[in-house]
Amino acid sequence: MVGNLALGGTGKTPHVELVLRMLMDMGALASLSRGYGRRGTDIHEVQATDTAERSGDEPVQLKRRMPEVRVFVGADRVKAIAHIQRSVPDARAVVLDDAFQHRRLNAHLNVLLTRWDLPWSDDALIPAGSLRDLPARARNAQAVVVTKCMERPTPEEERQWRIRLGLRSDQLLCFSDIVYESPRAAGRELAESALREASCLLFTGIADPGPLVAHLGKLFARVEHMAFPDHHAFSAGELKGLARRYANFAAGPKWLVTTEKDAARLDFAEMDGPLQGLPLATIGIRARILNETEHLEHLVRDLVGTYPADR
């Protein structure tokens, strides 16, 4: 299970993908999340053609990035796991996205995330802060990952982080950063040499767009950002506003850019809406472990390897 103590913004979905990729050669895999922002609470297997309204933006994004993984959504995680066991009897592992608060679950491995710039030790419970669970719950994690790091910490900094988070010696402490993939349009990567002469109108509905804005500033000659709330459902009026702004914000070559997560909420707009015909590029991200990479991978793989494939 990959989870956190805070409301969001720690990068759970990229780390779920990272764990899944560690296990890709071990057999059939499944993932499970609530499917934030979707309509309904039923148990549903996500298809790459699903809308975000049906399955949630992040599950759709994950399915499109990893089509070989069986991706499920369901509000009742216990019932959903039972459903997965029936639907995918040969699954070697079910990786849960954000279920740390579900006391009825007893995950065999808990990977707990916390942000570099706002760890749980510096936060407070809602409404004073963003924590939705007690920091003491961190004792149930076998591995803790400090996410969105600017650089790899020194050994002394790692030691200080252990003290800061109150970790036991048997809890693995890792640090990760975010790696941005090349912008893509119509299924192909855009040449960076061409981007340096172009302008970019970026629009996002993610929790922490700052690092992405800074990254695109290194690729494009000019970047303008239109920010929306996390998991935002774009209205027709907002998309018309984006199209108008795109038409006027810069001369010369230019691109409309968004994240893969946001693109999962734009299917209808791309086909028939105000953005039709505009040069729209998407940019993906992946999490990268900066230290103890092999230790974390062995922890994950050894756990799955203890369960027979034909159980």
Give the tens place of pLDDT for each residue, 282-291: 999 999 999 9
CA atoms within 13 A on the CB side of 106: 0
Whether residues 65 and 149 share a domain: the answer is yes
Domain of residue 213 covers 182-283
* Residue 272 scores a pLDDT above 80: no
Do residues 137 and 198 both lie within one domain? no
Flag whether pLDDT at 203 surpasses 70. yes
In the chain, the number of structural domains is: 2
Does 306 score more than 80 pLDDT? Answer: no
| Residue 124 and residue 213 in one domain | no
pLDDT score, position 308: 57
Q: What is the pLDDT of residue 309?
A: 56
Based on the fold, state whether residues 54 and 192 are members of the same structural domain: no
pLDDT of residue 266: 85
Q: What is the mean pLDDT of the chain?
A: 91
Report the pLDDT averaged over residues 66-78.
94
Q: Are 13 and 95 in contact (CB under 8 A)?
A: no
| Whether pLDDT at 254 is above 70 | yes
